[in-house]
Structure 1
Amino acid sequence: MVCFRLFPVPGSGLVLVCLVLGAVRSYALELNLTDSENATCLYAKWQMNFTVRYETTNKTYKTVTISDHGTVTYNGSICGDDQNGPKIAVQFGPGFSWIANFTKAASTYSIDSVSFSYNTGDNTTFPDAEDKGILTVDELLAIRIPLNDLFRCNSLSTLEKNDVVQHYWDVLVQAFVQNGTVSTNEFLCDKDKTSTVAPTIHTTVPSPTTTPTPKEKPEAGTYSVNNGNDTCLLATMGLQLNITQDKVASVININPNTTHSTGSCRSHTALLRLNSSTIKYLDFVFAVKNENRFYLKEVNISMYLVNGSVFSIANNNLSYWDAPLGSSYMCNKEQTVSVSGAFQINTFDLRVQPFNVTQGKYSTEWHQHLHNQSSVELETILLSPPRTPPTSVWSILPSNLISSLCLLLFFCTSLIQLRTILLVTWTLVIKICPTLLPPSAITSEMKSCLISCC
């Protein structure tokens, strides 16, 4: 824990702000604001983080989670007076600030509004931002609390506006503290009234990653994005989220009946954003490459889990669902989009077309399994065991018959060779012998013998 004991605010006393820096990308703040008489006038302890989505110079989108920005200051935090209500003001970097305003009625006080300002000109936090400057998001809350009660909300509360998601949990706050003593009477938020928050258990024994219970195949939903009156993006898919956080694995099927879709379409990028009561945003960002193909380039998610913790992941360097422009990517088999080691998306019955949608209908489908068929067949051929040669006819004949056939073949061959020898001999006798012997020496019997033998 890094504690900053800050100097007194003129007219408002001493402020003590403690910023807990840890593995969780969030702020854990505790503020005890005192008046000129050193009596507590406002007390607050809470956790919060901020996720901002912004456009880059190359027309793609990135998502960042605002984390530690160094020295924390408190300029503007006041107890309040007759003209101004109490205010909590926190600054945590050049151009980064958060303010909460309080008002008072006859018997109640209210957390009236909060505002968050961030600086896209900070190249460290927002690299390659298209629009640079300080942007502010204001939210009206009007949470009414009885005077002299301490407001408690351990459950996760989420505010989303203009590509900014604010998360708050473990909130304790009391404005207009009476007699300098923080009240022991607690006023619970609605979520805490209907849910039981499990206590935090600290242990030094490492626990293995739990294996999630297998889920059934998710129902496929159809989502669309409109540009004016025209549909510019279509997607049909069943989605199953695989999340690992703090060595706990979860499998979550997205219910299309309770999921809403928004987004945007541009010439070279398209966004499909899904959200529900638990998913603040699940972004699928598509891009064009080589002027003739599209692909899934980026996935961002921010949601809260059943234990109230916030899960946020972003990856803008993906390469999935590649298909020609003017077609729709289609794959009915289960596919896995690996966003990070802690987050994967299983898709079922997938069909998506982020560009060139005409008349609100899909174009010709580009089947993933068909266009990968040649490589699959080649792999099958290379990896398959050698084929067994066809059975020879000789292997099915009896051994004694084979022997008889071999003897007959040998005998016929011998006869052919003998005939050839006799023909050669006859030629010698007819052509050569007369030159060596007188005709009277060749008797008729000799000729008859030679002719009969040949």
Structure 2
Amino acid sequence: MAQYSKTHLQLVKIAFIAILGCVGVAQALTVEVRDGNTTCIKAELSALISVVYSVSNGTRTARVPLPDSATLGGGSSCGGDGRAPSLVVTFGSGHSLGLRFSSDGNQYSVDNLTLEYNLSDSAIFPNSSSAGLVTLSTASAQILAGINTTYRCVSDSVVSLGGDGVSVTFSDVKMEAYMPGADLSQNETICTADQRATTQVLPTTSAPKTSSVTTAPAPTPPGTPEQGHYNVTNDNGTACLLAQMGLQLNLTYTSSSNTTVQQIVNLHPSQTRHTGSCDQTSATLWLLEDRTNLSFSFALNSTSNKYHLSGISLSAVWPDMSEPFSGSNGSLDYLRGTLGRSYMCSAEQTLSVLTAFSLNTFQLQVQPFGVSGEQFGAAEECQLDEDNMLIPIIVGAALAGLVLIVLIAYLIGRKRSHAGYQTI
């Protein structure tokens, strides 16, 4: 009777997993990686794994939630001795999901996401025409946060692993690596998807909190910023986004002395790390400087073959701020160009993002799609450059016209003076 109950419970468990996989219900999971009594990685998240697999008459899609019964795998580590900090969870019959972290001292990120699934598990992959373990990984997990801050992303975030219809969708994520203590930091780095979900700054930094807030004097411009050169590569190592530009942040915030401050800050290319990601119709460039995290999102209309800058987000933790600044706008329409060509604007231009934040660009050239041969395509110039070229042309034409008028007047006057004499 005891044996029957155990078998019965196992069948119920398998059926329950299969039902969850069909309906795609993601469950909450909390795990932490420890080294002795020290916690180095902690994560609270939900994840839904989607796998397209082969059957005898075609393909099927298995949608498997990461169950709350998943356990910490043997590959988990706080790092050291040449190993990177890693979080690995195992579940079911040989399935696992792993996150490997890296840091530059100011930011930490997931630089590798690995999924391993077992096609021999008939509860999840019924009638699979293949068997055995499949391992896929990607460096484009798009999980990035400042040191001593918690990465937070409530929105769904889809990470694709190759072009075979395999993906992991994260949601309700709170995660921190390189932790100084046992609890998640109260300071948070908000993901771009959550920032796009609102049009206000999070937390609010632009509006005075009380009537006692004073306004600081207008800032002194720091001068023209140095032009930086940035690129984003695909998984195969070829460039998919090229950008060169000088950048200047114009930010309004409340200082620790309860004063509204407008500060203009140049981005320094020599101190800036860059990363990003590309797919068929979207591309992202992240620029990471000490205490500053700036990202650009580009979108491509595959029907018109036109692209544009659709979003800008900024996270900043500057010394004088009363609280961190985090804000974005995902409904922009700047830097419009044609697929296979670059957008160029040598003149200074201002990109308004939020009431409290704008971005000045100098000597800009960017191409987020259709990059060939690691070089910019033919440039499409901005209206400002065309206007700047038009002014000297108009002035030159006016001067030429004036010279022509003077010459004609001179010739007419000379002809009339000759007509006043008679031949003797």
TM-score w.r.t. the length of structure 2 is 0.46
Larger radius of gyration: 1
Question: Structure with the greater relative contact order (CA < 8 A, sep ≥ 6): 1 or 2?
Answer: 2
TM-score w.r.t. the length of structure 1 is 0.43
